[in-house]
Structure 1
Amino acid sequence: MKLGVSYFGSRMPDDVADDMKAIRDNRCNFVVHTFSEEDMEFYPGTMEKIVKASKKEGLEVWIDPWAVGQTWGGESYSNFIAKNVDAMQKNAEGGLLPAACLNNPKYRKFMTEWTDAAIKIGADNIFWDEPHFYLYPEAEGCKGWACRCDICCDLFKKRFSKDMPVVMDDNVRLFKEDCLVDFLKFLCDYAKTKKKDIVNSMCYLPFENTSTFTDWSKVAKIASLDIIGTDPYWRKGQTEQEIVKRVGGQAERIAKLAKEYNKEGQIWILNFNIAKGREKDIELAIETTHKAGIRNIAAWSYYGTYQMSNLSSDDPKAVWQTLGRMYKKLH
């Protein structure tokens, strides 16, 4: 079994070293460190110390491009888009959006630099976390979409021999999805050229819309990608039956894809915003995931995410203890 947890919120090496011991003692064998643009610019040496402290405890180290360019998951800001307006995504009407365009050469170059930095600080695994175009609230009926910048329009015209429409259609959906796949493949391939034994893993957002993936098999076919997963987090107030359905359905989907395309499957377990008294939902989710055949399980995030007030669980200690008990059962 591979059992892990994500970690962020402290850049004090000695304090982090103590937390890595706690993570090891909670039966984890890997840790996912976030590596934001701020970390890359101001804390590379500090992050190298943190990675070394993690490995000292026997933990495999995964590095996450946390909110880099606002095209990955994460609660952080992007300096790249502030300094590179010409690389920002555009909506269908031509307005600028606060996210980098995945097709823009300047952004792709920046992502290779981020990859170099991640490998330099000691990454064993690069965790490509929730790649996406700018996310509009489509579930609320919004019809906005991106990206329709000049680069995307040119690429679309070369492929379909017509101008990129303003109104979303099937060709635009296909184009966007294939651009996401190409972007991810580009990065996975690049990482392997820089470090032959680097492991590439990725996390699908657990839903389909025009800014993510609909056909998950397209990603699973990437030869340089080793691990595929998703994060079917449940909402406060959902019943146990709803949690089993949500987590179990996505775990089975990942297990099937992983088997078909010879990948390792992974599921992320909610460890933030857990209501007091509902810690047993974590047990239920892990049991459901394991039953589906998944043998790589990770939790977001360390100690019930107590360090981030907007995401902290009501009783972080109880969340952490619950995770440890379940991980101990799986060892």
Structure 2
Amino acid sequence: MSVKETGVSYYGISYPEHAKKDFQEMIEHNCNAVILALSEFDIDFWFPNIIEITKVAKGMGLKVYLDTWGIGKWFGGEPASNFLTNNPKNRQVSAFSNELLPAACFNTKAFRDYFYGICEKLATEVDADGFFWDEPHYALPKSYASITGGPGDDWSCRCPVCQKKFEEEYGYEMPKIMTKEVIEFRENSALEILKHASELIKSIRPNSRITCCVHATINTYYVKENRGYDNWDKVCKVDVFDVFSTTIINYSLPRSYFKSITQRTINAAKQHGKSSQRWLMGYYNEPEKMEEIKDIVHLYDDMGVESLFAWTYRGGYGTVLAAPHALEMWDMLGEAYGEVLDKEYSLKK
């Protein structure tokens, strides 16, 4: 068995005594780790209980990772962003129309100071095992056809800050067309902030395990958009990242796609000395037969994936994104985890 870590994301509960019951249910479903998905509001308002909930989870034997969920709408996630509400002029800007987009530009000093401040606060005061960078990406403008990858498609960010930074680095005005140099600039800028944040965290808490999770694609949709993290080799080369992770795949896609993405994930991780992580869809969409969840979990195990996570706890039960049979899906995931998790790492008594 290759799988040493199994877990789910967890959000929406901010009382340690209630979270304890949920953590016990996770353990009974063969999880040994949990990702706490923290919105900007959570970090601002519920911070004392985030500290306590982390202590409870770790006291029960769970590994705890902190997910900066939806922060600045630069990371994936549904939560609203306090930063965008309070800083309307620090948004990403589309290249063609100068449209202000609902996502923070992470080249602006205001956002970097804000984000680094959050990372420092969490690393200093919360005794977590690591951080999870959740699908960081550039915003996709909607004012033009922007998803075909053609040379005339709109993109972001071309705000004044990005334009100035580009000109300083390349010696000429930032083009409106996505050239090779623009792609390089966007990739480097996208990784620069995560690298610095990870270094900051490890300077405070050296044993923190940093996971960077990127979109699971095969040189098509997101690569054409060029969201900034599509160059897997460049992401894996970042020394301060410990785990290379790729996102959920819809159950309707062919198993050959699952295999290809997984093999690419493992190969990229191994080439640069990282651990590999794959995600399962545990909300909204479910397979025609629940047993397919086991098939995919075993596929990942057989191929050598070390860490498996599912979004989310209880199949999203009670939310608008719940799977049609959320609790049945949750139970099947727990059974699947139990079949592949190396017994040495199991918390189930």
Give the alignment's TM-score, normalised by structure 1.
0.93
1:277 positional shift: 4.6
Please give the secondary structure, in 2, of the residue aligned with 1:299. strand
The equivalent residue for 1:111 is 115
1:196 paired to 2:206: yes
Q: Counterparts of 1:15 and 1:198 in 2: how far apart (Å)?
A: 26
Please give the secondary structure, in 1, of the residue aligned with 2:66. strand
Runs of at least 5 residues in structure 1 that lack an aligned partner in the other structure: none
The equivalent residue for 1:135 is 140
Supply the AA of the counterpart residue of 1:40: I
Please give the secondary structure, in 2, of the residue aligned with 1:113. helix
Please give the secondary structure, in 2, of the residue aligned with 1:267. strand
Query: Cα gap change, 1:323/1:91 in structure 2, threshold over 3 Å: closer, same or farther?
Result: same
Q: Counterparts of 1:187 and 1:278 in 2: how far apart (Å)?
A: 42
Supply the AA of the counterpart residue of 1:174: E
Q: Counterparts of 2:254 and 2:128 in 1: how far apart (Å)?
A: 33
Supply the AA of the counterpart residue of 1:132: H
Aligned match of 1:303 in 314, 318, 326?
Answer: 314
Q: Counterparts of 2:8 and 2:205 in 1: how far apart (Å)?
A: 24
Q: Counterparts of 2:148 and 2:177 in 1: how far apart (Å)?
A: 17
Please give the secondary structure, in 1, of the residue aligned with 2:50. helix
The equivalent residue for 1:254 is 265
Q: Counterparts of 2:285 and 2:60 in 1: how far apart (Å)?
A: 28
Supply the AA of the counterpart residue of 2:10: Y
User: Paired residues, what number?
Assistant: 325
Q: Counterparts of 1:74 and 1:245 in 2: how far apart (Å)?
A: 28
Q: Counterparts of 1:275 and 1:206 in 2: how far apart (Å)?
A: 18
Q: Deviations over 1:211-253 (max 9, x none)?
A: 2323211111111110110113215xx2xxx342222211111
Aligned match of 1:270 in 259, 267, 281?
Answer: 281
Query: Cα gap change, 1:181/1:276 in structure 2, threshold over 3 Å: closer, same or farther?
Result: closer
Equivalences for residues 78-227 of structure 1 within 5 A: 78-92=81-95, 93-119=97-123, 120-136=125-141, 138-139=146-147, 143-207=153-217, 208=223, 209-227=225-243
Q: Counterparts of 2:287 and 2:31 in 1: how far apart (Å)?
A: 24
Q: Deviations over 1:121-149 (max 9, x none)?
A: 22211001111111346336792211111
Asked whether the equivalents of residues 232 and 268 of structure 1 are also in contact (C-alpha less than 8 Å), the reply is yes
Give the alignment's TM-score, normalised by structure 2.
0.89
The equivalent residue for 2:27 is 24
Q: Which segments of structure 1 move beyond 6 Å, counting only runs of 4 or more?
A: none
Asked whether the equivalents of residues 9 and 307 of structure 1 are also in contact (C-alpha less than 8 Å), the reply is no
Please give the secondary structure, in 1, of the residue aligned with 2:329. helix
Please give the secondary structure, in 1, of the residue aligned with 2:9. strand
1:68 paired to 2:78: no
Q: CA RMSD in A?
A: 1.7
The equivalent residue for 1:318 is 328
1:302 positional shift: 0.6
Q: Counterparts of 2:67 and 2:318 in 1: how far apart (Å)?
A: 18
Q: Counterparts of 2:167 and 2:232 in 1: how far apart (Å)?
A: 25
Equivalences for residues 6-25 of structure 1 within 5 A: 6-25=9-28
The equivalent residue for 1:230 is 246
| Greater RCO, CA 8 A, separation 6+ | 2
Query: Cα gap change, 1:314/1:293 in structure 2, threshold over 3 Å: closer, same or farther?
Result: same
Supply the AA of the counterpart residue of 2:15: M
The equivalent residue for 1:282 is 293
1:291 paired to 2:306: no
Runs of at least 5 residues in structure 2 that lack an aligned partner in the other structure: 218-222, 342-349
Please give the secondary structure, in 2, of the residue aligned with 1:139. coil
Query: Cα gap change, 1:275/1:221 in structure 2, threshold over 3 Å: closer, same or farther?
Result: closer
Please give the secondary structure, in 1, of the residue aligned with 2:36. strand
1:190 positional shift: 1.3
Equivalences for residues 29-68 of structure 1 within 5 A: 29-68=32-71
1:296 positional shift: 0.8
1:276 positional shift: 7.2
1:280 positional shift: 2.2
% identical equivalent positions = 28
Supply the AA of the counterpart residue of 2:247: D
Q: Counterparts of 2:156 and 2:75 in 1: how far apart (Å)?
A: 15
Asked whether the equivalents of residues 250 and 285 of structure 2 are also in contact (C-alpha less than 8 Å), the reply is no
